[in-house]
Structure 1
Amino acid sequence: MSPINKGVVILALFLTLTMVVNGFSSRFFVEKSSVTVLNSWSMGAKHDAAIADFGLPNYGGFMIGSVVYAGQGCDSFNKTLKHKSPYPTILLIDRGVCSFALKIWNGQKSGVASVLIADNIVEPLITMDSPEETQGEDPDFIDKIKIPSALILRSFGDSLKKALNRGEEVILKIDWSESIPNPDERVEYELWSNTNDECGVHCNEQMTFIKNFKGTAQILEKGGYTLFTPHYIAWFCPKELRLSRQCKTQCINQGRYCAPDPEKNFEDGYNGKDVVYENLRQLCVHKVAKEKNSSWVWWDYVTDFNIRCSMKEKKYSKECADNVVKSLGLSLEKVKKCIGDPDADVENEVLKAEEAFQLGQENRGVITIFPTLIINNAQYRGKLERIAVLKAICSGFKERTEPSICLNADMETNECLEANGGCWQDKISNVTACKDTYRGRVCECPVVNGVQYKGNGYISCKPYGPSRCSINNGSCWSETRKDLTFSACSNSETSGCRCPLGFQGDGLKCEDIDECKEQSACQCNGCKCKNNWGGYECKCSNNSLYMKEQDTCIERRSGSRSRWLFTVVVLIAIAGISLASYMFYKYHIQSYMDSEIVSIMSQYIPLESQNINEDSKANNNSGRL
């Protein structure tokens, strides 16, 4: 067959799909972000912008920047396009002359944060796709585009350029927070791909993404956070060509489901028929795995098949695929039953459903870009890259309902690394209110070692609670001089800073009060005031003593030492007399007590002396007789 005839058949396959797609053009959706002018009401508040199909859109987040206009932007700027504005730079470039991607690549090299392309004709918004062929100093520049970009209407672009020509600064907010819908607590997403691994850059990008995203996808699926469905793009032959040799080699089921020849050579290598058959097999693998409640096994099959059964290594075969199915513990019989007979002149229910999905649903567009990721019925725009896609999926959850995988370190935007993200920061204690999330940085006062900071997060955060003084002295003033420390933070208070006694200020800065001047300390006659750090000292003249409580001086005289000595002697004498009196008193009391005791006892117990007296009296009486 001549090359012309080959080209006619291949063209017929693509035209058939194109005709069907055009028939459903009303279902083609342009995925959008919003652009809001923050400092000018004359241009309107909010405008739509069509997200480019390359670069990395900031799904779930937003960006605020100052606009710089740069004309066509087809040539490298060879300089940094930034100005004195504290905001990041958003570059405005006109459409035309060269490809969208080249303009945005030149903008990225100039250091801007984002690029807006202003349409040069009056038309509805379209999606900026990457060119089939690239030209320039770096043919792989499309894969290196990391900044977000979008197309805006001509009218909006003209308004921006007029304002800039008048010397005005235009501040824009580009917002992707509503680009992915979040209707419920589960995200549903689809990947439209192809098993052909020799289709060039697109196939390589698709397979690299699947390998890198496999682990993340399986975590989301196993946790019940997402529902993933694979889809495969298919073509079909027109009825008048179905019996041709070309359609038979590129299609199954009698020309109903086709794929372009991988090598674009009907005489050599694999055919489109082989690709369609493997596409169908992978759909059935997912279906059988889902019946076992292990739908995530699809990711293992696809990655294993690409490694073990590569088309480039001439191992792309049914036998190799069957071995992969069995190695994953799936039922080969069920997979084959799902595939059916590829040579039968009947419709295949699985592939028929794929055609219906491909032509679009009620609330989502037709599939025209390959590969395509659809998240909650919105087509993902941007590079198929693990972190970027995960960020888009996470933005499909309602805020604060996203799973923990959305909040890990890989998802951080790193906005806090530059100027602390514009948030409050205490550089002394290295405490910051800036926190990176997949939605962008947030400025929230932190909790440090159990101490809660309170404030707006942007210009102020102050520690609150009884332990606040343990963290950088509660952000209050503190100073030490000669081992003497004063602080404006008190643990008895839950907030605020107050200069201690002897100091004045707002608590964030305290200065010593010169009590000798400002408070007229030491008011007594003959007093001299000396100011100290944090206090003062009063001294009396003429060798007098200062009594602080009474703020008075007691006079000292020359004979004071003799008087003190005399006083000491008198006191000693008094002490001696008192001691002697006490001893005499004690002796007298003891004698008195002894006599009393004897008197009492004599009344009950006869004493020897009493007996003697009684005997003496008896003898005297007897003599008288």
Structure 2
Amino acid sequence: MARRAPWLAGLVAVQLLLIVAVRGRFVVEKSSVRVLAPEHIRGHHDAAIGNFGVPDYGGTLTGVVIYPDKKSTGCVEFDTKFKAKSRRPVILLLDRGECFFALKAWNAQRAGAAAVLIADNVDEQLLTMDSPEASPGTEYIDKINIPSALVNRAFGESLKKMAQKVAAGDASGGEEVIVKLDWRESMPHPDERVEYELWTNSNDECGARCDEQMEFVRGFRGHAQLLERGGYARFTPHYITWYCPEAFRLTQQCKSQCINHGRYCAPDPEQDFGRGYDGKDVVVENLRQLCVHRVANESGHPWTWWDYVMDYKIRCSMKEKKYTKTCAEDVVNALGLDLKKVLECMGDPEADAENAVLSKEQQDQIGSGSRGDVTILPTLVINNVQYRGKLERTAVLKAMCAGFKEGTEPRVCLSPDMETNQCLHRNGGCWRDEATNVTACRDTFRGRVCECPSVNGVRYEGDGYTDCQAVGPGRCALNHGGCWSETRGQQTFSACSEHALTGCRCPPGFHGDGHKCEDLDECREKLACTCPDCHCKNTWGNYECKCKGNQLYIRGEDVCIANSMSKLGWLITLVAVACVAGVGIAGYVFYKYRLRSYMDSEIMSIMSQYMPLDSQNNENQPLRQHDSEALR
């Protein structure tokens, strides 16, 4: 029985999956491809987003389409790196067929492509390119970091022809094939809150898929709790279950994989009914985790679900044989949740009746609106659109941030983790001051923006693309506010004035527009030192003026005056000084001997009226009796 068990488990799992797939509803998530050049093939086209790599949700990518003349399927590694003549990013166009879609994207990434378009080889509706199941030789899947998309056959053929003409030099004017990939409308962003759900499983023995989702929970937990605490997002966990056909409900397979008499089932974790845990153990724990979220939500702390799932993974692992009810309830109690409410929510797994929580999960599993059926794990749905791409912390956060109405994104969306690094390439086409390395380019999760910055309290104003000017107090401290400045020897002149909040003006002694100033020759221009007895000599930023003979130059009046006095003049000056000194001495003597003695007598007279004199012997009178007693 043990040897046949894996085959039987697989058979039942396939049967259960077929029951869901018969009425399946699949939705292909799309991005837009806009051809910018050559002009005669301009237009908009749809492309199906690949379910691997990192789609640039909320952003765009403009690049040059290159179609390789060899290895056009991309199934083997390319010998060279692809580069565009215009230095734009390369969008590699490949043919469908012969290998996995993901392998084509991986080889394109290693060949220097920024994105990959795969042209369909049959006339059909667009489909979602999925990644293969983890197996030896598919380790590259987690390393794919570029976006990919499938385009229809007709559009792919037209791109190929134009790209081949460019490569052969036959295109008019040698014009490259330039397209713009646009993911801005791939993620709905109706309001200021994002609603998202994760379809997952408590089973930790399902290989690479389980490892991927637990790694995501571990890495994304902090972001998820921050977003929900701030009211920016609402998260709902979901768990896939199947039901066992009524004809099989009494079989050992259904009994071991299902609860509530075959109504809710999950595959055997080890795919072996003879050992380890059963599928029904997984269903019960899935139900418990759903109820943990419900109880936590009722208490106003829905983000506790992330803590429970992470703690349960660490403390109650299947691999360590701790995947038990007792361990789970210990985690519930440790997190301060009401265990009684959790048990009431779960109900009786052995009852021959429907479970309200799991029945709703089966209903939610069926697609509606813009979302298709959920058939694989893990599946992330954001604003009712299935997320496509790598289930990785930064990639998912970027997709979620694209789900906010533009301008309402929380701070976490503007963190360094979300930068697109577009500013690293030619400064993103934005303004930059080479002297101070101040730039108007700023990376965001939606792509780079060109906005004049604020640096060290100094604000810049301008269009951000070609010009930014420092304004306000302190602007001259940063490269002289972008104005002209020059130093020669110990002298420095600047066209930036601390007294002006904007603009540049050449300082006195210079002329120009403030961004370029040249020395003004006051002597040649007759602007100074023009008196008859003056001799003018120009200097950098100034001038020197000397007078003939022993004369002095008065700069303010631009005149020369005599610099000598007669003997009579000196005599008069000495007499005047002596007179002033005599008056001062006489005043001092008068104050000391007459005025001071008079004032002293007046002061003594006034004081005698209010204070007893020594002759009255008042100082010898004893203290009052009660005063002396108070001191004892």
Where does residue 455 of structure 2 map in the other structure? 448
Where does residue 148 of structure 1 map in the other structure? 147
Matched to 1:161, the amino acid is: K
* Range that drifts further, 539-548 or 467-476: 539-548
Judged with a 3 Å threshold, the aligned counterparts in structure 2 of structure 1 residues 135 and 7 are, in CA distance, closer, same or farther, namely closer
Matched, 1:161 2:160: yes
Residue deviations 1:232-275 (CA, integer Å, cap 9, x gap): 11122222222222122111222222112211112222221211
What does 1:461-476 align with in structure 2 at a 5 Å threshold? 461-476=468-483
What does 1:147-546 align with in structure 2 at a 5 Å threshold? 147-164=146-163, 165=165, 166=171, 167-513=174-520, 530-536=537-543
- Return the alpha-carbon distance in structure 2 between the equivalents of residues 546 and 216 of structure 1: 76
* SS in structure 1 of the partner of residue 220 of structure 2: helix
- Return the alpha-carbon distance in structure 2 between the equivalents of residues 575 and 329 of structure 1: 100
- Return the alpha-carbon distance in structure 2 between the equivalents of residues 43 and 239 of structure 1: 57
Residue deviations 1:555-585 (CA, integer Å, cap 9, x gap): xxxxx99xx7xx71454578799999xxxxx
The two structures, once aligned, show a CA RMSD in angstroms of 3.3
* SS in structure 1 of the partner of residue 92 of structure 2: strand
Where does residue 100 of structure 2 map in the other structure? 99
Where does residue 113 of structure 2 map in the other structure? 112
8 Å CA contact retained: 2:5, 2:273: no
Where does residue 46 of structure 2 map in the other structure? 48
Where does residue 597 of structure 1 map in the other structure? none
* Gapped regions of structure 1 (runs ≥ 5): 555-559, 581-625
Shift of 1:459: 2.2
Shift of 1:12: 4.4
Judged with a 3 Å threshold, the aligned counterparts in structure 2 of structure 1 residues 517 and 83 are, in CA distance, closer, same or farther, namely farther
* Range that drifts further, 226-235 or 105-114: 105-114
Judged with a 3 Å threshold, the aligned counterparts in structure 2 of structure 1 residues 514 and 152 are, in CA distance, closer, same or farther, namely farther
Residue deviations 1:589-616 (CA, integer Å, cap 9, x gap): xxxxxxxxxxxxxxxxxxxxxxxxxxxx
Residue deviations 1:369-390 (CA, integer Å, cap 9, x gap): 3200111101111111112222
TM-score (norm 1): 0.82
Matched, 1:81 2:79: no
- Return the alpha-carbon distance in structure 1 between the equivalents of residues 329 and 558 of structure 2: 104
Matched to 1:124, the amino acid is: Q
* Range that drifts further, 275-284 or 330-339: 330-339
Residue deviations 1:530-565 (CA, integer Å, cap 9, x gap): 5432345567899999998998999xxxxx99xx7x
Shift of 1:101: 0.9
* Gapped regions of structure 2 (runs ≥ 5): 166-170, 579-632
- Return the alpha-carbon distance in structure 2 between the equivalents of residues 308 and 352 of structure 1: 29
* Range that drifts further, 195-204 or 42-51: 42-51
Where does residue 60 of structure 1 map in the other structure? 58
* SS in structure 2 of the partner of residue 228 of structure 1: strand
Shift of 1:109: 1.6
Matched to 1:472, the amino acid is: N
Shift of 1:500: 3.3
Residue deviations 1:154-204 (CA, integer Å, cap 9, x gap): 233223223322342233332222222122222111000111111111110
Judged with a 3 Å threshold, the aligned counterparts in structure 2 of structure 1 residues 579 and 72 are, in CA distance, closer, same or farther, namely closer
* SS in structure 1 of the partner of residue 17 of structure 2: helix
- Return the alpha-carbon distance in structure 2 between the equivalents of residues 232 and 253 of structure 1: 16
8 Å CA contact retained: 2:12, 2:253: no
Matched to 2:143, the amino acid is: K
Matched to 2:18, the amino acid is: T
Where does residue 568 of structure 1 map in the other structure? 566
8 Å CA contact retained: 1:21, 1:359: no
Matched to 1:140, the amino acid is: E
Judged with a 3 Å threshold, the aligned counterparts in structure 2 of structure 1 residues 569 and 319 are, in CA distance, closer, same or farther, namely closer
Judged with a 3 Å threshold, the aligned counterparts in structure 2 of structure 1 residues 490 and 86 are, in CA distance, closer, same or farther, namely farther
Residue deviations 1:32-84 (CA, integer Å, cap 9, x gap): 22222334443334332222212122222222323322322211124322234
8 Å CA contact retained: 1:17, 1:236: no
8 Å CA contact retained: 2:9, 2:271: no
Matched to 2:160, the amino acid is: K
8 Å CA contact retained: 2:9, 2:267: no
Q: Of the two, which has the highest radius of gyration?
A: 1
Matched to 2:47, the amino acid is: A
Where does residue 618 of structure 1 map in the other structure? none
* Range that drifts further, 505-514 or 175-184: 505-514
* SS in structure 2 of the partner of residue 23 of structure 1: coil
8 Å CA contact retained: 2:470, 2:502: yes
- Return the alpha-carbon distance in structure 1 between the equivalents of residues 463 and 86 of structure 2: 23
Judged with a 3 Å threshold, the aligned counterparts in structure 2 of structure 1 residues 544 and 331 are, in CA distance, closer, same or farther, namely closer
- Return the alpha-carbon distance in structure 1 between the equivalents of residues 409 and 177 of structure 2: 34
* Range that drifts further, 524-533 or 62-71: 524-533
* SS in structure 1 of the partner of residue 281 of structure 2: helix
Matched to 1:122, the amino acid is: D
Judged with a 3 Å threshold, the aligned counterparts in structure 2 of structure 1 residues 169 and 542 are, in CA distance, closer, same or farther, namely farther
Matched to 1:404, the amino acid is: R
8 Å CA contact retained: 2:5, 2:272: no
8 Å CA contact retained: 1:14, 1:235: no
8 Å CA contact retained: 1:130, 1:142: yes
